[in-house]
Amino acid sequence: MAVNVAERSAMARALELATRGPRGANPQVGAVILSPEGAILAEGWHHGPGPPHAEVDALSKLAPGAARGATAVVTLEPCNHTGRTGPCAVALIEAGVARVVYALDDPGAVSGGGAERLRAAGVDVEAGEQAAAAHTLIDGWLTAQRLGRPHVTVKWAQSLDGRAAAADGTSQWITGPAARADVHRRRAAADAIAVGTGTVLADDPALTARDGDALLPHQPIPVIIGARATPSDAAVHRHPHPPLFFDTHDLHAVLADLHARGIQSLFVEGGPTLASAFVAAGLADRVLTYIAPVLLGGDRLALTDIGVASIDHARRLVVDEWVPLGPDLLAIAHPADDADPQTEGAR
């Protein structure tokens, strides 16, 4: 049975509700309960570790028996395990829900399998509705589940000829106001933001997410990677969150530590050396390249050595989106793999 208009609208609402939940060790999930006629009966979202999951949160707002014959629209497959709370799949079955529409499969070996359990109980199940939007919402959590580390976005700004700075090292500003505002919005969407000590010493960045001079409601935790000391009066010490310092070049160790702290998404913004290190290590899950229509020449490249000795070893990307930002252009890309049709014949 295909997804109908009411269910499609309810999924858009569930995705909106999911954003009310905190980012952390658990995914952001939203749920909407629809009557057999398609009217909204209840809404819910996951409030964090411990409280009921989104489906149960929504069901709790209904009188006993009110969900019988209803449809549950959820952004993530209802869980199938008992942790701090019971299985959501069982809660839906016991409530008499007749149909479940969800966006993404739960990748957990323990928590997954809710759809199969629902079908075995006679519940009609439809998967994949607005999956791309749901994936974008919780891509950090999904990466953490799959790889045991945060989802890493590597960002840099460059001239049209691939330079990050002029010959004297100046780089403010290569891009214009629209591009810089976009960067701040994306900083605010991340759990943490990383730079190298070289960037701290050269630019003294605040590493905050701002709208003009005002701080945005969510601020990423600042992460400083490198052996050199950060001055006591550096701007990062005035950040709303205490900075995390890593005196190491072992990026895997850094990510493992951040993962243990519940950080799901890391925004890497700190200069060609750090950006190149993440790319070379195969740790860039997404690349954001802001391209300005200027020419700088010289040797201040946006990326340095990333371990490509010949064209056969090029690190190929798939561009997901080109975003015009005033006179500048943003390329949003992810590393290519054999499943990407764009890479066919490219290797």
Q: Which domain holds residue 28?
A: 5-137
Across the strands, what pairs with 104?
76
- Residue 264: the pLDDT is 85
Tell me, yes or no, if 55 is annotated catalytic.
yes
Question: What is the largest distance, in Å, between two alpha-carbon atoms of the chain?
Answer: 72
Work out how many domains the chain is built from and give that number. Answer: 2
Per the residue annotation, which of 7, 55, 77, 269 is the catalytic one?
Answer: 55
> Does 172 score more than 50 pLDDT?
yes
Q: Are residues 339 and 196 in the same domain?
A: yes
341 band by pLDDT with thresholds 50, 70 and 90: very low
CATH of the domain at 127: 3.40.140.10
Sign of CA dihedral 86, 89, 94, 96: positive
Q: Are residues 151 and 39 in the same domain?
A: no
- Residue 347: the pLDDT is 37
Q: Are residues 311 and 190 in the same domain?
A: yes
Torsion (CA) 143, 148, 150, 155 in degrees, nearest 10: -70
| More confident: 330 or 50 | 330
pLDDT, the chain, mean: 89
Close Cβ partners of 232 (under 8 Å, ≥ 6 residues apart): none
Across the strands, what pairs with 308?
none
Q: Say which residue the tokens 């001239």 belong to.
A: 159
Q: Are residues 127 and 193 in the same domain?
A: no
| Per-residue model confidence as pLDDT tens digits over 21-64 | 887 667 899 999 999 999 999 999 998 777 889 999 999 999 99
1 band by pLDDT with thresholds 50, 70 and 90: confident
Q: Answer yes or no: are the C-beta atoms of 287 and 331 closer than 8 Å.
A: yes
CATH of the domain at 211: 3.40.430.10
- Residue 203: the pLDDT is 87
Q: Are residues 206 and 75 in the same domain?
A: no
- Residue 113: the pLDDT is 81
**Residue 261: other Cβ atoms inside 10 A:** 14
